[in-house]
Amino acid sequence: MKKYFSKIGSFYALSVLDEVPIRAAALSYSLIFSVIPILYFCILTISLVVVGSDTESALFEILSQNFNEDVANFFRASIDAFRVHEPPLGSFIAGIIVLLVAASNYFYRLNESFRIIFKVARIKRAIFSAILRRIISLIYVILFMIILLATLNAHLFATALTSKLGLVFGEYSLAVSLFTAVWTVGILTLITSLFYRTLSHFYLSWSTSVLSAMLVSSCLYIANVLLNAFFRSPLSVTAFGFASLIALILLWVYYTHYVFLMGSLVAKEMEESL
């Protein structure tokens, strides 16, 4: 066990001077330009394909809680305008292609980050490999949409269960807080382990991927709780607080990727130690 943790420590020491901070910054930059196309493509598809006001309401509620109410209103207005005007089929297909390409860029960069961190050589057929990685990235966008849809439906169940727990134990009771924490960490663990399992270039086992993803998700959840506490504080509405808020959000995006990439190194070491 001591040998295992010493290796983890050496990984951390190397990552501070090596590729992890660089790749985390590159992914953060890529996410800024990819997150809106990813969300818009998912929201547009769900709103047009999935019939049900409950699911759509849950979608905008999640956006309000995890991003901002203005962001949720922007997407809601865009979807309503799309339904009213009904653009021509050609422009609709062209718009979907642009959204898919922009959204897939993030997953392409994520795959490249794993390859660089794990020092995996490029395939000699560079053009074929690049096309293949782009196709895989498109699959991840579609898969992300499916996970989001499943999360929305599960969110309806979780909201109903949380309301019942709130009536029984109190709205801010330990039981409600514990259920919310377990639910959030579970969703993060599912998505993170899926990335570790399929994008790591080392074909990690499910058990190793899930265990490492659980550790990473727990760290991210704790940081998210602290960040939300600052959002609700009176300091956030002042000029100094608003500037600090922007800095914290940028740092949050960066360190989310940093912890995520470090978790992949931990998963690799766990796989080799077992």
What is the predicted pLDDT for the residue at 226? 76
pLDDT digit string, tens, across residues 69-127: 666 677 777 777 766 666 676 766 777 777 777 777 777 787 777 777 777 766 666 66
Going from N- to C-terminal start, the domains of the chain cover 2-273
pTM of the model: 0.66
C-alpha dihedral sign at 70, 74, 76, 80: positive
